[in-house]
């Protein structure tokens, strides 16, 4: 079993200024994670949502429950995020990444307004040495049970679990 005593749980609070004027203050507990967005930034996001015809599927409470619940799984799965106000990331999420998702230190727990979707890879490649083949651990069933228990809408798509923060009428939820 993989240990949950990752560096993310043991780090002190930090501050980081984002390019768009947002101040992120994060600690290991999602209950104490804040995204301070000015009124102008929130208005801009709401305008984008209206222009694109997107409606909200998640709120800050659900994001916090999700982030907290990830540490009940055998390992915190890696993920890829698409923000409402940004183009999708250019790299593709691997089928079974060799790294964990940092659910405790990210500001997703308070970004209900900002996240369009999160794609989660519920697998982890555990390398055991140079001469021994890696082992792929899978927590798909545990992740789906968690999402169902906390009432987070999701879809399974190409071996990934996708959670939509916002979507249109054509969003497949």
Mean pLDDT by 10 residues, the chain (173 residues): 35 33 40 54 87 90 88 93 83 92 64 84 94 96 97 94 91 80
List all residues 6 or more positions away from 51 whose beta carbon is below 8 Å from its beta carbon.
none
H or E element, residue 80? strand 78-83
- What is the reported pLDDT for 105? 56
- What is the reported pLDDT for 37? 59
> In this structure, what token pair is assigned to residue 49?
């949502």
Instruction: List the helix and strand counts (H, then E) for the chain.
Output: 4, 11
Tell if the pTM clears 0.85, that is, is over it.
no
To 5 degrees, how large is the angle CA 150–CA 7–CA 113? 40
């Amino acid at each position: 079993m993989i240990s949950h005593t990752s560096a993310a749980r043991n780090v002190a609070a930090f501050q980081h200024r984002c390019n768009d004027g947002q101040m992120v203050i994060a600690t290991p507990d999602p209950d104490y994670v804040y995204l301070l967005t000015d009124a102008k930034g929130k208005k801009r996001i709401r305008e984008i949502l209206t222009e694109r015809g997107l409606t909200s599927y998640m709120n800050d409470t659900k994001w916090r429950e999700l982030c907290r619940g990830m540490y009940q799984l055998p390992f915190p799965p890696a993920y890829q995020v698409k923000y409402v106000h940004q183009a999708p990331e250019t790299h593709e999420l691997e089928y079974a990444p060799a790294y964990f998702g940092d659910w405790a230190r990210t500001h997703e727990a308070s970004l209900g307004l900002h996240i369009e979707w999160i794609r989660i890879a519920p697998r982890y490649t555990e390398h055991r040495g140079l001469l021994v083949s890696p082992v792929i651990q899978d927590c798909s069933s545990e992740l789906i049970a968690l999402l169902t228990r906390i009432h987070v809408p999701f879809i399974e798509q190409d071996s990934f679990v996708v959670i939509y923060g916002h979507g249109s009428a054509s969003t497949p939820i």
